[in-house]
Chains A and B, each alone.
Chain A
């Protein structure tokens, strides 16, 4: 079974600074997708970024980027120039395309607080 581990239950960062959230996963598959979702206090689940395992280039979306280390099964999220609106729970998630079993497996989340 696939598992996703987020080892940092809580983190904080000063506004305008950079922070990195960690995620590791366990799978024997070679083709898969990885995601970071953000859940602000409004509780909406918002897609932040997505990475396909077959792509060597790390995904980026504006201030958000990932460090995907396939051999180490690591998928960390870097937030640059942190803003107060980045305060949220962040979930790492894993999917095997068309697995027909458990389509998306989530980690337990990291609560990020951005401090003014």
Chain B
């Protein structure tokens, strides 16, 4: 079984809809991250969480919110989706004393 899972893997939605992307991990890591990937722009950090009670904004947090429901779960929400949020979204985890991030398989989101 994969250590970091994301659901759904693909999603098509309409402008204005609320959507939630979920991430779960079995690695026992404290730290979790959400990134967005656009063609030609690499990955950009949306939000990150160093433990259940710690949530931090990344460089492109506008239009997004997150919830850390448990150590193993970190969800990303788009309250009112817009077309320029069409992208590939990645969840990642890392250990408290480690610095290597391990990525989930990604969610391809299309907002029409």
Contacts and interface: CB of A to CB of B under 8 A. Distances in A.
A84 interface: no
Nearest to B50: A100
B68 to A, nearest CB: 15
Interface string B34-66: 000000111111001000000010110000000
Interface stretch (A13-21, A62-70, A72-80, A104-112): A104-112
Chain A's interface size range is 20 to 34
B79 to A, nearest CB: 23
Nearest to B42: A106
A91 B100 contact: no
Nearest to A97: B99
Contact of A43 (B42, B94, B105): B105
B45 to A, nearest CB: 6
Given A33-B99, A43-B105, A95-B99, A102 B45 contact: yes
A57 B106 CA distance: 33
A28 interface: no
Interface of A: 33, 35, 37, 42-47, 50, 91, 95, 97, 100, 102-104, 106-109
